[in-house]
Chain A
Amino acid sequence: MTIRTRILPRASRGLLLAWFLVPLVPIVLWAASNRWSFPAALPQVWGVDGFRNVLAAGAVDAFVRSMGLALAVAAIATLLGACAAQALVRADVHFPAVVAGILFAPLALPPFAVALGLDVLVLRARIPSTVAVIMLLTVAAIPYTTYLMRAAFGAYDIGYEEEARTLGASTATILWKIRIPLLAPALSGAALLAFLVGWSDYVITLLIGGGRLITVPILVASLAAGTGNDAVVAALSLTAVLPPLVLVLLLSRLRRWRSR
């Protein structure tokens, strides 16, 4: 039995729901309008011209680039975060507090400051700008992946592995058949957060990519800077929200399936 602590008045639920959802309404309406001049409260002509213009603006390339970037960040940051978290939880690390402090430091530093300072080093070391962007975004994501994986390893029951070892399972078998499946919800949650870091970034891509790496946010910003682009910006924005949303839904289904 759960006790329902009703602290907030009923009306607050509606207000909170509106607070989170109303800002997305104009995007949906604009994306579905061919003509919507002021001061009409609803579009005068509905249609998908916005989406057509999105394709014409080179959105497919930008989507492929953003997806590649975000997947790379998700893969690297999850792997590094999981390895670090496992060692931190098992407490066989020298100076664990210092190590954890350093791994969480990116949360406390403005990304534009790091990118701005690093730009000179990247140029001098002749690191390709795409690689540099992935490195920076991975570092921005490591605090989240480390935190989630630390919590997951903290709650992890080592008993299953010990049992398997007693039955003669090899280290590789234990890793693939026990540890990774048991940690799958946490791993996918960490990967999702890291994906979001890569998918959402604007300023690091702008500063380090130097305008050559056209990702979805860079394209949105350049379209938003012009006037009369509202329908295109809205259509592109709506499409850009979908991939993370699909991942969130998949993740929650995975969670539900696991908890059955």
Chain B
Amino acid sequence: MYVAVVFLPLLGAFIAGLFGRTLGDRGAQLVTCAGLGGSAAMAVGIFLDVAVGGHAQTHELFTWISSGTLDITWALKYDTLTAVMLLVVTLVSFMVHVYSIGYMHHDPSVPRFMSYLSLFTFCMLMLVTAGNLVQLFFGWEGVGLCSYLLIGFWNDRPSANAAAIKAFVVNRVGDFGFALGIFGIYYLFGSVNFEAIFAAAPQHAHETVQFFGVSGNAMTIICLLLFVGAMGKSAQIGLHTWLPDAMEGPTPVSALIHAATMVTAGVFMVARMSPLFELSETALMVVTVVGATTAFFAATIGCVQNDIKRVIAYSTCSQLGYMFFALGVSAYQAAIFHLMTHAFFKSLLFLGAGSVIHAMSGEQDMRRMGGIWRHVKITYAVMWIGSLALAGIPFFAGYYSKDIILEAAFGAHSAVGEYAYWMGIAAAFMTAFYSWRLLLMTFHGKAHAEDRVMAHVHESPLVITVPLMLLALGAVFSGIIGVGAFVGEGREGFWREALVVLGSHPALEAAHHSPWLVSLLPIIVGAGGIALAYGFYVYMPAVPLGLARALPAVHRFLLNKWYFDEAYDFLFVRPAFALGRGLWKDGDGAVIDAVGPDGIAAATRSVARRMAALQSGYVYHYAFAMIAGVTAFVSWYMFLYQG
């Protein structure tokens, strides 16, 4: 079971990918869904055994690399952290698989799609079950590869290809940091196995290393490098630009990327490396600040976007920010808790948005929607549930996890904690606002779509709505069920050795004793956000337009996503292209070709012309050449022997 849970999706991917043509669409769907279904069932079993029952274990499969002191085995490590991730990944992925049957049924290459989905899931499972950093890196890169394949799935669209390349390249930046971090760990610890690293971590806490001539705390440098990797995968500010563009992929892919796989990898990795991060105050502070800033910044952008999927995409970015600042204040449990609840309601929102798009004949712009709630009642209901959970309205899943994160940030009693708290509150307000903006623009008000489209609006088939309803259950209940074990009184017994929190970082404990206003504020701003959205988009629709007109600079700034893409384009993309073109035209063309192949060819030709010119046709020239040759040879010997 412990092995099969990881490899069933791979098997499914192989069968669907290699024999998709013979199996047909239906066969490929069945194989992959069955693989994921089995995997999800086993994940539940493992969760019960490992997390609830407390039987953490490691399964060694075989030795992968054995070279000198580098010893890497291919091992599956199961502890509570892994079990939680396993559960989340397989459940959400299973739902996405089933949903894809309905959503992609028009597509000409269903087997390929299903195969990629399963492969994606396999890579993520490999990542979360890794017993050492190299194996984790394997999964990490595999996830990156699959995201590339899936985002660019519709490879006849230039925008999809561009988005896929962007996702891959931006992730490479992060991966580079991550790889350096792994090298650093191997350099410091002489091992890449988690057990060995974590056992030895406290001894190395205060070592310093020279790195590019700068001496610094070894642990801080390593943690920061690892965090760069996490920033790339989890789309934190600076390396977030690929995430919204990833919307170019089919909607189930967006759901999978944004909820269960890929973006959570960074959060998971930092949580997994908690024994190291705990030892570096600096790194934790950086994590907190980056996370809090991302939460705020992404929320501001979410408020003005018009593409339904982009709104949710920025929402993901923002929520990941929450998770990171929770990690930063050592509330790892809260971060993973939010990861789990978020996985449910975010996949719900995405798939619901997909259902809307499906109903609207492919329309994604919210300005051309509206007034369709009567026609898509189930979708409408689940979107409400998802939004309530996202906004942190009490008793929905998001409420528990977001609350505890904010309280923990406050409870950290540090400057960065304070910063994170207020950023989080602001983001919570905006989250509620844009969620209802989305709901209201999409489902209520006047219909802005063409009549032809409106006539066609219909509820999606069962194969789409059933996964939605199941996920809705998760979005409602995962919080209330998990709160006790994940972050409440039962957390010690639940997590055991999976996460390490030093006694000097009591944020989570303090969270339970925070002042009532601190706990209540998120709910208040959430309600305020909802109210504002109603005000703007139901009662006074002129106001948002007026605001946008009154503050054009702000609106443009937000609409253009803080100009990150433009800045990167100016700073990196253009210079890189210019450099490439320069090396090609001037370097390769003008220097290497001119001196090398072309130059040699030209020289050969001129030598050839001169040699051919020697052939004058006059006998006395020929005779002269012969005599000169003999004379030269004889003189040569004379010279040689005479002295």
Judge: A and B partners, yes or no.
Answer: no
- Enumerate chain B interface residues (CB-CB to A < 8 A): none
